[in-house]
Amino acid sequence: MFLLVGIWLSFPAKAPAQVSTATINGTVHDSSGAVIPGASVVLHNIAQNVDRTVTTNDVGYYVIENINPGSYTLSVSKQGFTTAQQSDITLVVNQTATFNMTLSPGVVTQVVTVAAHAAALEASTAELGVAIVKTEVNDLPLNGRNFTQLLNLTPGVSTVNVSQNSSGQGGIWSTPVGTFTYPAVNGQTNRSDLFYVDGINDQGSFGSTYVVAPIVDDIQEFKVQSHNDDPSYGGALGGGSSTR
Residue 52: what pLDDT?
95
Q: Domain limits at 59?
A: 20-115
pLDDT along the chain (244 residues), means of 10: 43 47 91 94 94 95 92 92 89 86 78 58 64 76 78 78 49 58 76 77 73 79 70 57 55
The whole-number pLDDT of residue 1 equals 39
CATH classification of the domain holding 190: 2.170.130.10
Count of domains observed in the chain: 2
Q: Say yes or no: 104 and 140 in one domain.
A: no
In a domain, 140, yes or no: yes
Residue 237 is predicted with a pLDDT of: 54
Neighbours of 162 (CB within 10 A): 12
- Domain end, chosen from 52, 86, 115, is at 115
Residue 160 in domain = yes
Separation between Cα atoms, residue 91 and residue 107, nearest integer Å: 30
The residue length of the chain stands at 244
Beta strands per DSSP E along the chain: 3-9, 22-30, 40-45, 50-55, 61-67, 70-77, 83-91, 96-98, 101-103, 111-115, 128-133, 157-159, 183-185, 193-197, 200-201, 219-226, 239-243
Residues 153 and 210 occupy one common structural domain: yes
Q: Do 180 and 106 fall within a single domain?
A: no
Indicate whether 51 and 28 sit together in one domain. Answer: yes
Report pLDDT for 12: 41
Look at residue 8 and tell me if it is in a domain: no
93 and 61 both lie in a single domain: yes
CATH code for the domain in which residue 110 is found:
2.60.40.1120
- Claim to verify: residue 111 and residue 152 sit in the same structural domain: no
User: Are 59 and 90 members of one domain?
Assistant: yes
Instruction: Give pTM, 2 decimals.
Output: 0.63
Residue 9 confidence (pLDDT):
43
Identify the pLDDT of residue 36: 95
State the DSSP string of 100-147: -EEE-BS-TT-EEEEE----SS-TT---EEEEEEHHHHHHS--TTS-G
pLDDT of residue 152: 80
* 120 inside domain: no
Q: Are residues 35 and 85 in the same domain?
A: yes
pLDDT the model gives residue 46: 93
- In this structure, which amino acid lies at residue 242? S
